[in-house]
Amino acid sequence: MNALKNPPGVKTTGMWLFVLSDLLTFATLLVIYTALRIANPDWPRPFTLSPAIVYATIMTVVLLASSLTMVWAVAAMAEDDRKNTVKWLLATIAGGIAFIALHLTEWRHLVLEDKITASTGLFGAVFFGVTGLHMLHVACGAVYLSILTAGVARGKFSAEDIETGGLYWHFVDLVWMFIFPLVYLMAVKP
């Protein structure tokens, strides 16, 4: 429709704006968590070191690893190496799916074994609220990257598109860097 196209960098700017806005949404949730926790001195701390924290650490490493493959995908696309881009993108999506699978297993364990759900108290509310929103972001990211992968394989999309997708994926990773210590580590059994 428009003969004129945007100069390079516009998409990156747009994605950064989204990232900043969404970071504030997550920050708000974490601030609410903090305020509620201050208001409730008897805040439960149900996590055991093993398996709960070990498990969560593995999840963190998996997510970090998917960020690393994403960086390689972006780098490959910058050199117009579509074959390797697709390879690393697929690896990233696999990492994301693995993270979700691990996460759901953990949720299942909490609900079935520890009898903690969103409605059993504020700990469950915060835990499932915050990690649920994050998991939604990972799932959206997996869909987003799948669309990119399919496009790259068919010769569509530019290096900037992959860079933009990478920004989103790293942002999801970055948010987890705050959720892991605040939601998990600060709730280890004393």
By CB under 8 A, the residues from 61 to 90 that bind other proteins are: 61, 64-65, 67-68, 70-72, 75
> How many residues make contact with other proteins (CB under 8 A)?
73
**Closest C-alpha among 75, 105, 10, 24 to residue 67:** 75
Give φ, ψ of 72 to 5 degrees.
Answer: -65, -35
- Cα separation, 71 vs 60, in Å, equals 17
Q: How many residues does the chain have?
A: 190
Among 88, 99, 128, 157, binds other proteins (CB under 8 A): 128
CB of 15 to other proteins, least distance (A): 9
- Cα separation, 184 vs 57, in Å, equals 9
**What part of residues 130-169 is at the interface with other proteins (CB under 8 A)?**
133, 163, 166-167
The H or E element that residue 170 is part of is: helix 159-179
By CB under 8 A, which span of 33-41, 85-93, 104-112, 138-146 interacts with other proteins? Answer: 33-41
Cβ-based nearer residue to other proteins, 11 or 109? 11
Among 91, 121, 151, 159, binds other proteins (CB under 8 A): 121
CB of 168 to other proteins, least distance (A): 10
